[in-house]
Amino acid sequence: MILSPVDAEFSFAVDVAVVGAGACGLCAGLAAAQAGAEVLILERDESALGTTAMSTGLIPAAGSALQKAAGVEDSPEQFANDICAKSKFRTDENIALSLAKESAATIDWLVEDQAVPLSLVDSFLYPGHTAKRMHGTPNRTGSELMGSLCAAAERAEVQILTEATVTDLFVDDDDRILGLRCRRPDGSNEDLECKALVLACCGFAGNPEMVHKYMPEIEAGLFFGHPGNKGDAVKWGTALGAAVADMNSYQGHGGVAKGYGIPILWPAIVEGGIQVNQEGLRFSNEALGYSEQAVNVLQQSGAVAWTFFDETRHNLMLEFDDYRDAVTAGAIRSADTLQGICEQTKLPFDAMQATLAEIDRLAANESADEFGRVFDAKNALAAPYYAVKVTGALFHTQGGLVVDENGQVLRPDGSQLPNLFAGGGAARGISGPDASGYIAGNGLVTATTFGRLAGITAAKLRRV
Ligand SMILES: Cc1cc2nc3c(=O)[nH]c(=O)nc-3n(C[C@H](O)[C@H](O)[C@H](O)COP(=O)(O)OP(=O)(O)OC[C@H]3O[C@@H](n4cnc5c(N)ncnc54)[C@H](O)[C@@H]3O)c2cc1C
């Protein structure tokens, strides 16, 4: 809710308050503190985790020192073009380019200034990316990324107040945020004064009413995001007259292991794997992207599909912690023969034989199937086979508050709100108006880079 400052009982004051302790909030807090501001990050949960800790933690950037050291040629223009092409040029191209231009500085800053142990993922290309530009921590997990960011916050003496749910903002007649109210576990309220506010509390995937309203196509899917993200940024922002955009846009995933809750990452598909339904039939161009594939999977009988691949892809996937967990948990079936894997999965042998024969035929001719996926020799699958039953899921929302290139929140006429910033899932993303525009990395590039830039800009408003 938006409250009048006359109702505030401020018990303490900081320069920059940050709502939410995920990647965006931590980057905003670290950058603001480095720029000389006194910062407090408020987090509703007992620990700083958020969607970020559930993620694979891969952050794209063009022109990072790690890319240069690996001899990868890339440029912000190439990265921005990949982002825009995935959204069919239905996103803000200026914001995409400015994020792409700042992305390398963010990665270099995380590595050099914040000691986050990132390395370049050089084993494969994610769909839609034309250069190897994903950066991740050693085990490629978001929990490891969050651990490093929290350690950096501790070193920088950036305070994180946990179990502090921000409920209200105090705003004057000029739309200036003067402070906020948070609720503590014992039910008491605390009011905090601030000079600038960064909304890093992600989107509304954890709010079923908003999901129903803005993205009914995915509401029947598995919710595999952070339940604490209730859409507070959008609610406060719209109450203040801020613009919102792309509210139907989200990151879906067409490959969460059914019954295990482990995402089976898309390298299994882009490197040659396929998805079949329970009838043993392919039903889409699964290589287009995992986000839009969520709805395609949900439309199959039982709202499930099988991700099907072979030992070459299995070995590649072992790079990922999530996949190793899926193996240990028993989610991945394997057999030396097609007959064997069909017995384990109950997939119909005849249909699977025909499906694989068709892929072999397409691969031999290097031609496209009825869905537009081109197969070549590299796609041919060979025994032993691997399969995992998956369903479609909602990860996080991509629509939100419209911001400028520094993460400052804008009104519909393009004017800035005086001291309100947003980034990550709280802000409008760069995926266009629907799930098909999400290219891998859109979540964390906006969280880390908007977070860093919002922190730097917000720090300029500090008390003197
Ligand atoms: C399984 C999975 C894999 C993914 N893999 C990748 C990947 O490899 N690369 C990529 O780019 N993206 C990935 N994503 C997306 C990425 O995780 C998100 O885009 C990103 O983490 C969002 O960061 P954030 O800081 O905006 O939000 P979050 O990390 O969700 O942090 C928001 C925080 O705000 C807190 N909060 C909310 N409301 C309040 C309130 N009122 N008061 C106080 N605190 C509040 C929440 O508790 C939460 O801790 C993945 C997502 C999932 C689910």
Instruction: List C-alpha distances in Å: 460 to 29, 450, 455.
Output: 13, 16, 9
Question: What single letter denotes the amino acid at residue 332?
Answer: I
Can you tell me the mean pLDDT for 121-136?
A: 91
Q: Quick one: what percent of the chain has pLDDT higher than 70?
A: 100
Element holding 420 (H helix, E strand): strand 416-422
Q: Which two tokens stand for residue 232?
A: 């507070």
Tokens 């072999």 — which residue?
360
pLDDT digits (tens, 9 = 90+) for 413-458: 999 999 999 999 999 999 999 999 999 999 999 999 999 999 999 9
Residue 380 has pLDDT above 90, yes or no: no
Mutation to probe ligand 1, out of 55, 79, 325 (largest number of atoms < 8 A from CB): 55
Q: Give counts: helices (H), strands (E), the chain.
A: 16, 21
Do 405 and 182 contact (CB within 8 A), yes or no? no
Can you tell me the mean pLDDT for 67-79?
A: 97
337's CB contacts (< 8 A; 6+ apart) are 383, 384, 385
Chain centroid to Cα 163, Å, comes to 23
Residue 379 has pLDDT above 80, yes or no: no
Nearest partner of 254 among 275, 229, 225, judged by Cα: 275
Element holding 354 (H helix, E strand): helix 349-365
pLDDT band, residue 394 (cuts 50/70/90) = very high
Can you tell me the mean pLDDT for 315-328?
A: 93
Residue 157 has pLDDT above 80, yes or no: yes
Record the pTM.
Answer: 0.95
pLDDT of residue 101: 98
pLDDT of residue 319: 86
Dihedral over alpha carbons 236, 238, 242, 248 (to 10 degrees)? 110
pLDDT band, residue 124 (cuts 50/70/90) = confident
Do 435 and 218 contact (CB within 8 A), yes or no? yes
The verdict on the CB of residue 292 being under 6 Å from ligand 1 is no
Query: Computed over its alpha carbons, how large is the radius of gyration of the chain?
Result: 23
pLDDT digits (tens, 9 = 90+) for 218-247: 999 999 999 999 999 999 999 999 999 999
Can you tell me the mean pLDDT for 178-203?
A: 98
Ligand 1 atom, smallest distance to 48 CA = 49
Neighbours of 411 (CB within 10 A): 15
Do 434 and 249 contact (CB within 8 A), yes or no? yes
pLDDT of residue 76: 98
Q: Ligand 1 centroid to 340 CA: how many Å? A: 40
Residue 211 has pLDDT above 90, yes or no: yes
pLDDT band, residue 126 (cuts 50/70/90) = confident
Q: Which domains does the chain have, with CATH numbers?
A: 2-243+400-459 (3.50.50.60), 250-394 (3.90.700.10)
The verdict on the CB of residue 321 being under 6 Å from ligand 1 is no
| Cα 236–Cα 396–Cα 315 angle in degrees, nearest 5 | 160
Compute the distance between CA of residue 120 and CA of residue 131 in angstroms, rounded to an integer: 11
The verdict on the CB of residue 422 being under 6 Å from ligand 1 is no
Nearest partner of 230 among 251, 253, 207, 214, judged by Cα: 207
Tell me the pLDDT of the chain averaged across its residues.
96
Which residue has the CA at smallest separation from atom 18 of ligand 1?
Answer: 443
Can you tell me the mean pLDDT for 381-404?
A: 97
The helix/strand/coil state of 177 is: strand
pLDDT digits (tens, 9 = 90+) for 29-62: 999 999 999 999 999 999 999 999 999 999 999 9
Which residue has the CA at smallest separation from atom 48 of ligand 1?
Answer: 50
Do 70 and 122 contact (CB within 8 A), yes or no? yes
Residue 321 has pLDDT above 90, yes or no: no
Sign (positive or negative) of CA dihedral 121, 124, 127, 130: positive
413's CB contacts (< 8 A; 6+ apart) are none
Mutation to probe ligand 1, out of 30, 42, 47, 51 (largest number of atoms < 8 A from CB): 51
pLDDT of residue 377: 83
Residue 402 has pLDDT above 80, yes or no: yes
pLDDT band, residue 368 (cuts 50/70/90) = very high
Compute the distance between CA of residue 197 and CA of residue 133 in angstroms, rounded to an integer: 31
Can you tell me the mean pLDDT for 140-148?
A: 96
Can you tell me the mean pLDDT for 85-106?
A: 98
Compute the distance between CA of residue 444 and CA of residue 132 in angstroms, rounded to an integer: 16
Compute the distance between CA of residue 62 and CA of residue 77 in angstroms, rounded to an integer: 9
Q: Which two tokens stand for residue 408?
A: 């400052």
Q: Ligand 1 centroid to 25 CA: how many Å? A: 10
